Amino acid sequence: MVNQVDYYGRMKSTPKTAEYQRFEDGLRQVLTVSKIELQEREKQYQAERADKPKRGPKPKTSASGHASGDRD
């Protein structure tokens, strides 16, 4: 238990790097998006995806193109 307190005490006292600060700011932006705005973004994303063609089934290949399983 003492080790945990010491660990967290050291972690909080270390200065934040610029990279970590950018990450934390980006995370804060993501977490502050309202539910309504998130739903609007999802609708916009779905509308953009609807324009793109969907992937079809894989083309069938003949068995002759694959290893036949015969062993020499």
Q: How far apart are CA 16 and CA 5, in angstroms?
A: 19
Q: What is the pLDDT of residues 7-58, one digit of tens each?
A: 555 556 566 788 999 998 888 887 787 889 989 999 999 999 888 877 778 7
In a domain, 38, yes or no: yes
d(CA 18, CA 22): 6
- Report field, pTM of the whole predicted structure over 0.75: no
DSSP assignment letter at 43: H
Task: For residue 12, give Cα distances in angstroms to 15, 16, 28, 32, 48.
Answer: 8, 9, 18, 23, 43
Range of the domain at 30: 16-50
Domain annotation covers residue 24: yes
Number of domains in the chain: 1
